A and B are shown apart, each in its own frame.
Chain A
């Protein structure tokens, strides 16, 4: 689910950047550092309102020449929840199940979480899950998945999903 989230970040600047364009530079740095990262709880999708961001005064760090700026910013973040239904693209399939990417989130759909009529077919090229009808799940297939659980490590998240429910599966 997407949220607007207020956050704060400290950016240190080398003295060579001190000057009239310092704010512009800080904004650039913020985007570069923050957008597309994963905090372990959510993904930061996009930094908002870049013109109205609130920068603190720069403060030179004692003992070195770099300056610290604290930036308050608002960002669109995405946090996957257990039970949420999301769309994904299959990245690979194997006999244990399906790897799919929900945006930045790597997700695995176990064979237990796949309707029983969709079977693993290792002899197909490429190997695929299929019900021998119109449902073929192979690399690149679009899937609708229900997230059954998420887990976060430092800077990364994993999810497991299911397509064993009505209205889930290939799109």
Chain B
């Protein structure tokens, strides 16, 4: 070990004599050399006079380590003016590079001893936890690097990679709800089928009162095969936030012979952090060959090694029982509660999107219906805490407060106790049954959905089963995951062998045939190993390469689109996320079919822009391939209807931020509209601080685009018209509960006339008259709740569409106008028709505003 001068000496010092010679034994605290230093001291005489004097003092430097002196790095007589100068090299008998419980495992010395010469405790020499199951064994960096090299060689030789596997909600789901046991025993229970293969174990010192607690474990479908197959190309490690005992029990269940995971289990007890998972804990040196699968990306800080898995949500509403240690997922989500009430639809859609693990494409019409069954709204009460994982993750972003571990443990205990006590599954089943009874009279179609009605993420698969069981078992995630893992593995080793052969002499070497050149050196062959952090993202980014996505109605209002879970994921798969529909946009991922952006995409996309439901994105990401969009196309035909309802929806969903005053401002701004030119408005709206809705932003863009010559040819227009007509034709299917305000009928007729006779009248009048009432009611509610949509309204102004937001009455008219002029192709031409149009809008707006006011 190289000795250095500490900072504590009185510099400059002059070395006067070297007291030890090379090959001498040096004990701890033995003097190594003597030196002298000068300092100012105060001297005095008997008369009370004092003065400053410079004095020189001799002293000795003592060794802080023991061993054999190899050589000196300084000479006698040298003057050293600063610390950290090398003085001598001493070979220690033991480097203390592996320590156990504060002892060096080689020499048995206590590493925490310190004395007056100690500069660094010996325990700081080995700080890295290398072993999964024990925190008291620490090793030094050198030792860790050596171990790592060894491990890498072993993996390369067997053509494997490391795979870190999360347990909860990734490959299993656990609950302590004793209802599961009851259902298992009761063969007549509708859930019996689903739970009959649920495994259970008793954890003694866990749970409330330390009486022990039964855990029920549901394995993700296909798990056994998955582990079996994956373990051939990966070395698997468990990394869970559960306790050690829990992890062990799970491992016993999923890997009874311990062939797959062996002892490579890391639990909360050894993790070192209770809020995050850290790859460095397992792979301190480098993580080039490590892949992670986990259902939560945030705990890994979205590490590039991560393959995010759709959370396995078999026990509906239970979630991850060990998550109280992780950054909290929002339970009832206080901040979004209001929105939940006001905007049931977007939320539901999202829930579906996030929780539906079934790869089978959903039928569009079905999706719409699901969201629109009355029961959805009725049971919307935000009672249960299971929101979509997507939203949870989104909302969780900032909530990583450093609560004490004790508090977390308590919380966990409480959560378990609550689960034992409340039997959430039983409650849900009861609720389900009650709802069934209630909806029995309604169309058979609807009953599946009523099951879904509970805001907890029930599966949409409900609809196809006649019997109403809460739990179902259709998850296919692991099969896709296995494929993905295969892909990564193949890609990794392709690159590796390519680089290896290149390094072995490149083309020349290959031509020479079998004559292989020697590898440059042992070390450098490890340097050739590609980095999974590069390989994995590159594999992923091919999936959606060239896709430019605009989200519409998917992201909760007030959330930055770019930072949401789905956006991050989509981006990691190579998609580009755009805020607004633009020329480069290829896909609009929309949860609802009449959002502004969707309309815009239809208008401007001319079939180029594919409008799909969020399930398309989810499935593409899950399968790691750009799945065929066709089954996912949004039912855009509904769009032509009395639409602009989305504005309605918007205002509802936005409502938390809205207020009476908001409404007022909107009115006023609307009034001033005539003076504003279209071009200026966009800016205006963008500046608006309230502007939280993504869709609104789209509006501004729309305006801008309008002036652009894109797609302005007549042919295009006629084509568009045809398309629209087609859409319109199927309007009837489109059930938009959202919106339509009263008075639509009039509007619609107007629309019909103006709107180039698209045959929408029938649809409009039909759909609207039915829906109108509901829409109005909703709207009133929103206003009554003090939720108005300031931002929206501002946006709305931009277009002629404002009307929609406020009064649907005009909507139709406006819409028609819009369709006729803008949608229809009016990109360049907002000449005369426009002014006339505007006037009309004006009038309507005024009327509207006053109406709204009254309502509010």
- State A86–B536 Cα separation when bound (angstroms): 50
A29 proximal to B (CB < 8 A): no
Contact bitstring B121-141, A, C-beta under 8 A = 1, else 0: 000000000111110110100
B263 proximal to A (CB < 8 A): yes
Contact bitstring B88-110, A, C-beta under 8 A = 1, else 0: 00000000001011111111111
- Known interface pairs A160-B100, A160-B108; A123-B136 also in contact (CB < 8 Å): no
Q: Is the beta-carbon distance between A149 and B108 smaller than 8 angstroms?
A: yes
Q: Of residues B98, B108, B134, B154, which shows the largest number of chain A Cβ atoms within 10 Å of its Cβ?
A: B108
B262 proximal to A (CB < 8 A): yes
**B residues near A94, Cβ cutoff 8 Å:** 130-132, 263
Q: Is the beta-carbon distance between B103 and A149 smaller than 8 angstroms?
A: yes
Q: Is the beta-carbon distance between A126 and B262 smaller than 8 angstroms?
A: yes
CB distance from A127 to the nearest CB of B (A): 6
Instruction: Count residues on chain A whose CB falls below 8 Å from chain B CBs.
Output: 27
- State A161–B10 Cα separation when bound (angstroms): 44
Residues of B in contact with A, size category: 20 to 34
- State A95–B139 Cα separation when bound (angstroms): 12
CB distance from B842 to the nearest CB of A (A): 78
Contact bitstring A77-92, B, C-beta under 8 A = 1, else 0: 0000010000000001
**B residues near A151, Cβ cutoff 8 Å:** 101-103, 110
B55 proximal to A (CB < 8 A): no
- Known interface pairs A113-B105, A151-B110; A127-B154 also in contact (CB < 8 Å): no
CB distance from A38 to the nearest CB of B (A): 13
CB interface residues, A 128-168, toward B, < 8 Å = 139, 148-151, 153, 158, 160
- Known interface pairs A106-B101, A158-B100; A96-B130 also in contact (CB < 8 Å): yes
Q: Is the beta-carbon distance between B134 and A126 smaller than 8 angstroms?
A: no
- State A149–B113 Cα separation when bound (angstroms): 14
A112 proximal to B (CB < 8 A): yes
A41 proximal to B (CB < 8 A): no
Which of B100, B147, B150, B262 is A108 in contact with, Cβ under 8 Å?
Answer: B100
- State A150–B789 Cα separation when bound (angstroms): 71
- State A82–B107 Cα separation when bound (angstroms): 12
Q: Is the beta-carbon distance between A97 and B136 smaller than 8 angstroms?
A: no
Q: Is the beta-carbon distance between B263 and A110 smaller than 8 angstroms?
A: no
A64 proximal to B (CB < 8 A): no
- Known interface pairs A96-B147, A160-B108; A108-B101 also in contact (CB < 8 Å): yes
- State A92–B104 Cα separation when bound (angstroms): 19
**A residues near B73, Cβ cutoff 8 Å:** none
- State A92–B131 Cα separation when bound (angstroms): 10
B158 proximal to A (CB < 8 A): yes
B132 (CB) vs chain A CBs: closest residue? A94
Q: Is the beta-carbon distance between A126 and B263 smaller than 8 angstroms?
A: yes
B94 (CB) vs chain A CBs: closest residue? A112
CB distance from B131 to the nearest CB of A (A): 5
Q: Is the beta-carbon distance between A96 and B139 smaller than 8 angstroms?
A: yes
Q: Of residues A92, A97, A108, A126, which shows the largest number of chain B Cβ atoms within 10 Å of its Cβ?
A: A108
**A residues near B106, Cβ cutoff 8 Å:** 110, 112-113
Q: Is the beta-carbon distance between B136 and A158 smaller than 8 angstroms?
A: yes
**A residues near B132, Cβ cutoff 8 Å:** 94
- State A150–B130 Cα separation when bound (angstroms): 22
**B residues near A148, Cβ cutoff 8 Å:** 108
B258 proximal to A (CB < 8 A): yes
Which of B101, B107, B131 is A158 in contact with, Cβ under 8 Å?
Answer: B101
CB interface residues, A 103-123, toward B, < 8 Å = 106, 108-110, 112-113, 122-123
Q: Is the beta-carbon distance between B262 and A123 smaller than 8 angstroms?
A: no
- State A108–B130 Cα separation when bound (angstroms): 14
Q: Is the beta-carbon distance between B259 and A99 smaller than 8 angstroms?
A: no
Q: Is the beta-carbon distance between A123 and B158 smaller than 8 angstroms?
A: yes
- State A123–B109 Cα separation when bound (angstroms): 32
A125 proximal to B (CB < 8 A): yes
- State A153–B134 Cα separation when bound (angstroms): 16
Q: Is the beta-carbon distance between A92 and B134 smaller than 8 angstroms?
A: yes
Q: Is the beta-carbon distance between A96 and B98 smaller than 8 angstroms?
A: yes
- State A149–B104 Cα separation when bound (angstroms): 9
Q: Is the beta-carbon distance between B102 and A122 smaller than 8 angstroms?
A: no
CB distance from B116 to the nearest CB of A (A): 22
B109 (CB) vs chain A CBs: closest residue? A149
A109 (CB) vs chain B CBs: closest residue? B105
**A residues near B158, Cβ cutoff 8 Å:** 123
Q: Is the beta-carbon distance between B103 and A160 smaller than 8 angstroms?
A: yes
- State A139–B257 Cα separation when bound (angstroms): 13
**B residues near A158, Cβ cutoff 8 Å:** 100-103, 136
Contact bitstring B212-225, A, C-beta under 8 A = 1, else 0: 00000000000000
**B residues near A110, Cβ cutoff 8 Å:** 98, 100, 105-106
Q: Is the beta-carbon distance between B110 and A126 smaller than 8 angstroms?
A: no
- State A115–B147 Cα separation when bound (angstroms): 19
- Known interface pairs A92-B134, A95-B150, A151-B110; A108-B105 also in contact (CB < 8 Å): yes
**A residues near B143, Cβ cutoff 8 Å:** 96
Contact bitstring A31-49, B, C-beta under 8 A = 1, else 0: 0000000000000000000
A151 (CB) vs chain B CBs: closest residue? B103
Offer 6 A-B interface pairs, CB within 8 angstroms, sorted by A: A92-B133, A108-B100, A112-B106, A151-B101, A158-B103, A160-B103
Q: Which residues of A pack against B, CB within 8 Å?
A: 82, 92-97, 99, 106, 108-110, 112-113, 122-123, 125-127, 139, 148-151, 153, 158, 160
Q: Given contacts A96-B139, A112-B106, A125-B258, could you give 15 more A-B pairs where the C-beta distance is less than 8 Å?
A: A93-B263, A94-B130, A95-B147, A97-B105, A99-B134, A106-B136, A108-B100, A110-B105, A125-B259, A125-B262, A127-B263, A158-B100, A158-B102, A160-B101, A160-B105
